[in-house]
Amino acid sequence: MKQRLYIVVTVFVAVVILLIFFGSTGLMNPINDIAVFLLRPIQTKIFPASQSLSNYIAKHESIEQLEKNNQELESRLSELLVENSQLKSTIKDLNIIRSEREFLEKENYNFVQARIIGKSSENKLRELIINIGSNDSIEEGFAVVSEQGYLVGKVVEVQKYISKILLITDSNSEVAAIVQNDTNAPGIVEGNLGLSLTMRLIPQNEIIQTDQSIVTSGLEANIPNGLLIGTISNIQFNPGNIFQEANVTSRVSFDNIGIVSVIVPKTVVND
């Protein structure tokens, strides 16, 4: 066994020495040429295959990179959409704030602007919660308006830092108002189940028309006169009745109110 191993090692060493010798003297060149000639057909087939494999791997890596880039772009797009939405919301709020300020300052009202922070569902009332309260000189009965000066409700409950507003569309809401006609026809604007407005108790002898404006009369404490409520959209006239009624349309989207202004009477400010 040992003798066989010795022979194998000896032969291997001898072959290596011969290969080195022949390689250094150039005697292996004919053999190399023959090997190249014999392997060329195989190499001709292997090279395109290796190229195809290389291209496939590169393409696969490229697809993976594209997918990764696409995911990154989609993520960035989502971030930009959120930022764009927030920016639009901010711009909208700023426009509302500016619109309210321009109207109230033009009319020389004292006011405090507030943001809607919640809704109250107690007793099925249409109430909104705002982020100002007695700490901001807010009291019950103060008028609350939205952009362009439209009346949206009254303050009905005040805490130190928050207050509740009863919307004028609530069935429990009543506002003393007048029609802006030749005689300033008086009446009471009431809410209808949080959905619409009706002006009742309009004297039968008053001549009113559709599209005439309805504003506050100023007969209520802390509610200044001239605040826009809406316009007449329909009239219910019955000769046998003492009073007539009118449906009133407000331009306020009561379900989407975000920013309001509470009008503070000058007597409160002076105190």
Identify the segments of the chain with pLDDT beneath 70.
1-61, 77-107, 121-124, 268-271
Predicted TM-score (pTM) of the model is 0.65
Q: Residue 113's CB: how many other CB atoms inside 10 A?
A: 17
Instruction: Say yes or no: domain 111-271 is CATH 2.20.28.160.
Output: no
Q: List, for residues 89-123, the tens digit of each pLDDT value.
A: 566 555 655 666 666 666 678 889 899 999 876 66
| C-alpha–C-alpha distance, residues 240 and 243, integer Å | 9
Q: List, for residues 127-141, the tens digit of each pLDDT value.
A: 899 999 999 999 999
Domain boundaries, given as residue ranges, for the chain: 1-106, 111-271
Q: List, for residues 174-200, the tens digit of each pLDDT value.
A: 999 999 999 999 999 999 988 899 999
Please tell me the predicted confidence (pLDDT) of residue 73: 72
- Rounded to the nearest integer, the mean pLDDT of the chain is 79
For 3, the enclosing helix (H) or strand (E) is helix 2-25
Give the DSSP letter string of 44-101.
Answer: HHHHHHHHHHHHHHHHHHHHHHHHHHHHHHHHHHHHHHHHHHHHHHHHHHHHHHHHHH
List the one residue out of 249, 233, 247, 245 whose CA is nearest residue 204.
245
Q: What residues contact residue 18 under an 8 Å CB cut-off, 6+ apart?
A: none
CA neighbours closer than 13 Å in the CB half-sphere of residue 192: 13
Please tell me the predicted confidence (pLDDT) of residue 96: 57
Structure tokens at 176: 């003393």
Please tell me the predicted confidence (pLDDT) of residue 22: 52
Structure tokens at 20: 């080195």
